[in-house]
Amino acid sequence: MEWNRALRYKKFDDWSDQDKKELLEKVQHSPWRMDVHIQPRSGLLNDPNGFSYYNHQWHLFYQSYPMGPVHGLKAWYHLISDDLTHWEEKGLALVPDNPYDSHGCYSGSALPVDDKLFIMYTGNVRDADWQRYPYQIGAWMDGANKIEKIKTPLIASQPDHYTDHFRDPQVIRRNDRYYALLGAQNDQLIGEIVLFESEDLSNWSFIGPLNISDQSLGFMIECPNLIFIDEKPVLIFCPQGLDKNILDYRNIYPNVSLIGDQINLDKATFVSNHALHNFDEGFDCYATQAFNAPDGRALAVSWVGLPEINYPTDPYGWAHCLSLVKELSIKNGQLYQNPVRETATLRQDHAQSQGTLDRQSRIIIKDCAPAYEFAINLRGKGSCRLALAKNETQSLDLDIDFQTGMLTLDRANAGVPFSEAYGTARCTTISKDEPLHLQIFIDHSIAEIFVNHGYKVLTARFFPNDDQTQISLRASVYLDYNYDYWRLSK
Ligand code: FRU
């Protein structure tokens, strides 16, 4: 089937029941479905949206094109949880059904206001010439999870001097008023984060672009987030086309974070003495959504996927997943990410061991489950290789060079190749000659690797052939290790 425009934008109701049944069957035959991660029942999942705490539960939505593994007519899919870990699927919640979102309910956010959840998102509209019109739209969800869209757009067009790339509102409350951050492209074709403010959520006025950098950060900024950690403003966003001299990155588009020292939303000023960082040092992480939860935590969840890249699940009628929910903190001026503590509720069958290796290799676990958590302390000389999801011929490899302080995640030999044009390895620095702690989550076709208690994270999809049930270690010189292992299950 060729995914032409007519097919991608065909209304969901115009697909036959037979089409839908065949698609679900295709997905059922897919290898690589996960046990504990959020994945689409069918079709494509992308950005997390509307992540919030409302009516005593966590709410999370994601961008969904349910009819195939391509970017088509986007809707919001809704999930609810008591613990950020076990999610109940509620189905499609926002679907394109009116002149202001006819070509997709694009990304946005949510904020509890009185006894309702206020949703703000981008309505994507195309005319007959395929010219794009972005509308910023509001909706209210009630305690029964019933959503009512506000009839007229909150922001009816982009401000003067901006192109139609204007989307992904994050609505926040601060200083007794509401602000929205939007991803935008100015008429010089430079990406910006722009600010709007409102007293009543109905009337919105343009403040201006947030002055995050003297340099151009690329041609478009998608999915901006502002959160506060220890009172410091932190921005997380996706600067498409960012110059690699400003920040080295390997993925098609980066997802970055920037810790600030001060922000004045009314004046659109942001002061930072920190550098831009990759939010994730792995292969597949984009469109992270973060918010300040009422319990005081700064929480984030990422799309584990990238725009414009084909994945090996495509022939099975689905694509992508969300990351585990992560708690963000700042330590020594650095952004840390750790899986939320509730993730531990997935643990089953604990195993533990330790040992020493002297210029040798050893299979340290023989019968891993397809979904597991593995936490290991490594202290060594020279270098070592941790081979995950391993069988005789394939593995996802972590190479650690204690001497140079370099950690490399290599998926070249991990299964079905994909996205090779962007390289098959990702490197990141660690402290030289220091012990290393890794907390690793493997779930069939995703690895999330937290380095030194959240100092760095490397996220990767990989698509192994089955029966990859081992973990092995190899030491070039000398290695001391101890580990904890749990099978993961919901
Ligand atoms: C980022 C993005 C957003 C947009 C959404 C559409 O992945 O392109 O900018 O709102 O996806 O699905």
CATH number for the domain including 65? 2.115.10.20
- HSE on the CB side for 228, CA within 13 Å? 13
| Tally of domains in the chain | 2
SS3 state at 341: helix
Cα(449)–Cα(231) distance, integer angstroms: 28
Give the chain's length: 490
Among residues 339, 370, 390, the one where a domain terminates is: 339
Residue 352 and residue 241 share a domain = no
Of all atoms in ligand 1, which is nearest to the CA of residue 167? 10
pLDDT at residue 132, as a whole number: 98
Residue 256 and residue 365 share a domain = no
Phi and psi at 191, nearest 5°, equal -75, 140
Residue 174 and residue 41 share a domain = yes
Residue 365 and residue 306 share a domain = no
Residues identified as active-site: 47
Of all atoms in ligand 1, which is nearest to the CA of residue 108? 10
Residue 382 and residue 328 share a domain = no
Cα(241)–Cα(141) distance, integer angstroms: 36
For residue 23, give the DSSP letter. H
With a CB cutoff of 8 Å and minimum separation 6, the contacts of 489 are: 35, 36, 346, 348, 369, 371
First CA to last CA distance, the chain: 35
Residue 480 buriedness (CB in 10 A; 0-12 / 13-18 / 19+): middle
Residue 63 and residue 175 share a domain = yes
Cα(194)–Cα(188) distance, integer angstroms: 15
Residue 372 and residue 331 share a domain = no
Among residues 339, 374, 399, the one where a domain terminates is: 339
Ligand 1 mean position, distance from CA 65 (Å): 12
Ligand 1 mean position, distance from CA 381 (Å): 45
Report which of 277, 261, 476 is spatially closest to residue 380, judged by C-alpha positions.
476
Of all atoms in ligand 1, which is nearest to the CA of residue 47? 7
Q: Which residues line ligand 1 (CB under 6 A)?
A: 46-47, 63, 74, 106-107, 122, 167-168, 222-223, 287, 307
Report which of 126, 89, 131, 86 is spatially closest to residue 106, judged by C-alpha positions.
126
Residue 332 and residue 251 share a domain = yes
The amino acid at residue 389 is A
Q: 88 forms bridges with which residues in the sheet?
A: 80
Report which of 374, 353, 351, 355 is spatially closest to residue 474, judged by C-alpha positions.
355
The predicted-structure confidence for 457-479, as pLDDT tens digits, reads as follows 999 999 998 778 999 999 999 99
Ligand 1 mean position, distance from CA 67 (Å): 17
pLDDT at residue 356, as a whole number: 97
Mutating to test ligand 1, I would choose from 62, 125, 132, 223 the residue with most ligand atoms within 8 A of its C-beta, which is: 223
Cα(377)–Cα(135) distance, integer angstroms: 50
Among residues 305, 339, 373, the one where a domain terminates is: 339
Residue 170 buriedness (CB in 10 A; 0-12 / 13-18 / 19+): buried
Instruction: List the domain range (segments joined by +) for residue 431.
Output: 346-488
SS3 state at 8: helix
Phi and psi at 323, nearest 5°, equal -75, 170
Residue 353 and residue 335 share a domain = no
Residue 327 and residue 362 share a domain = no
Report which of 245, 234, 251 is spatially closest to residue 285, judged by C-alpha positions.
251
Copy the structure tokens of residue 452. Answer: 């030194």
Q: Does ipTM exceed 0.90?
A: yes
pLDDT at residue 390, as a whole number: 87
Residue 367 and residue 332 share a domain = no
The predicted-structure confidence for 273-315, as pLDDT tens digits, reads as follows 999 999 999 999 999 999 999 999 999 999 999 999 999 999 9
Low-confidence ranges of the chain (pLDDT < 70): none
pLDDT at residue 385, as a whole number: 97
Copy the structure tokens of residue 225. Answer: 């987030």
Ligand 1 mean position, distance from CA 107 (Å): 6
Residue 216 and residue 82 share a domain = yes
pLDDT at residue 468, as a whole number: 86
Cα(321)–Cα(45) distance, integer angstroms: 6
CATH number for the domain including 389? 2.60.120.560
pLDDT at residue 391, as a whole number: 87
What is the longest distance spanned by two Cα atoms in the chain?
A: 69
